[in-house]
Amino acid sequence: MSGFTWQRAVIKIGSALIAPDGQQCSGRYILPIARFITSAREAGKEVILVSSGSVAAGRAKVPIQHPASISEKQAMAAIGQMYMMANWQRFFDFPCAQVLLTYDDLHDRTRYVNIKNTMRELLNHQALPVVNENDTVAVNELKVGDNDNLAAYTALVSGADTLIICSDIDGLYTADPRKDATAKLIPVVDEITPHIYSIAGGAGSSVGTGGMRTKIEAADKCTRSGIQTLIVNGRNGHVFDELQDGNIPGTLFKAQQSQKTARRLWLEHTLKTRGKIYVDPGAEKALVSKGASLLPSGITEVSGNFETGDAIEIVSQDKSLAKGLALYSAQELKKIKGEKSQRIRDILGYDNGEVVVHRDDLVLLK
């Protein structure tokens, strides 16, 4: 199937591809993936990796004769992270950046905004973010639990338009192809229904924690937010040649609406505003006519008691102009309003960036 286009993709790589023997990192399956990433970047596209494999990579270094305890698994992860990152870096002549996340990071408002800004800067500086769950500190109650759903959260926080899940199976089938010879590959899923969930089996890999169901959960999160999702077989190198040519050698889960529409609806209708920022005519013109971010120099007044990451209303000449996510709290904005961006650090002693509301986190109101 052809017609696959994208600009910013999150690619999820499972443990079975990183460490096929469950003991150490290998380049056996990831070389074609690395070539695909390099070619995509040369074509002006952006890639973020979500890579499993740290526990498997560290297992040989923490020999045990019994089922591993939580602390032993955390020790494996801490040691294995180094080997997993080194395994990726050896394939590229541009920097790889390690990003370790927990469930709390993704659900805490301030930390979510910080992750978003970090991802944006890493991509701006041509680095390849390599995301993994922070298994060295997270306990089960605070974990996302599987890297399929972690990849979905990563796609959401990074503003990706595509999630590619590399599995050890060609895609979603009508039944488990390892058990049912009549099972057929489903090339396109227009909508994720209870029936789609019902044909997703349990965990298939002895190394990883994710099965087909977690892949469907990840696809569900993404497609409802305007992010197309693919499940492909990461063990077949030709898959990445097909993707490079715009073909889909697996299962495509179609986005339910455009990403721009999904984000607009979320900002405009779902988020409750917690304050107002009043701007001058110059700032209004920059926002409306130029699609610019909001700078502190254009702010005249601040009302409400909002924190970093809260939704705020932007008001100009007594009319609601836009909604967006504030990168500074109300108390901080009262100190830097009307000032040039270069003065933020002098006034506050630190800065969260040069803009108050980034254009990616802003929607104009009709």
SS3 assignment for the chain: CECCCCCEEEEEECHHHHCCCCCCCCCCCHHHHHHHHHHHHHCCCEEEEEECCHHHHHHCCCCCCCCCCHHHHHHHHHHHHHHHHHHHHCCCCCCEEEEEECHHHHHCHHHHHHHHHHHHHHHHCCCEEEEEECCCCCCHHHCCCCHHHHHHHHHHHHCCCEEEEEECCCCCECCCCCCCCCCCECCEECCCCHHHHHCCCCECCCCCCCEHHHHHHHHHHHHCCCCEEEEEECCCCHHHHHHHCCECCEEEECCCCCHHHHHHHHHHHHCCCCEEEEECHHHHHHHHHHCCCECHHHEEEEEECCCCCCEEEEEECCEEEEEEECCCCHHHHHHHCCCCHHHHHHHHCCCCCCCCECHHHEEECC
Mean of pLDDT over the chain: 86
Nearest to 126 by CA among 51, 41, 8: 41
pLDDT value for 89: 94
Cα(28)–Cα(12) distance, integer angstroms: 16
Mean pLDDT of the region 22-42: 88
Chain centroid, CA 130 distance in Å: 10
User: Would the pLDDT of 337 be above 90?
Assistant: yes
pTM of the model: 0.77
Summarised one tens digit per residue, pLDDT across range 83-111 is: 889 989 999 999 999 999 887 787 777 78
Q: Report strand pairing: 250-253 vs 228-233.
A: antiparallel
User: Would the pLDDT of 49 be above 80?
Assistant: yes
**Cα radius of gyration rounded to whole Å, the chain:** 22
Q: Give CB contacts under 8 A, 24+ apart, made by 101-108.
A: 101/131, 101/132, 101/133, 101/134, 101/144, 101/150, 101/153, 101/154, 102/133, 102/134, 102/137, 102/138, 102/142, 102/143, 102/144, 103/138, 103/142, 103/143, 103/144, 104/142, 105/134, 106/144, 106/153, 106/157
Confidence bin at 139 (pLDDT 50/70/90): low
Cα(146)–Cα(214) distance, integer angstroms: 7
Confidence bin at 200 (pLDDT 50/70/90): confident
Half-sphere exposure of 134 (CA within 13 A, CB side): 12
Chain centroid, CA 89 distance in Å: 20
Nearest to 263 by CA among 348, 338, 365, 159: 159
Strand partners, 127: none
Chain centroid, CA 45 distance in Å: 15
Q: Pick the more confident residue, 96 or 205.
A: 96
Sequence-distant (6+) residues with CB within 8 A of 153 are 101, 106, 144, 221
pLDDT value for 300: 96
Q: Supply 306's token pair.
A: 């909002």
Q: How many residues appear in the chain?
A: 366
Mean pLDDT of the region 182-197: 92
pLDDT value for 270: 57
Amino acid letter for position 182: T
> In this structure, are residues 97 and 129 in contact, taking their beta carbons and an 8 Å threshold?
yes
| Phi/psi at 24 (5° precision) | -155, 160
pLDDT value for 295: 96
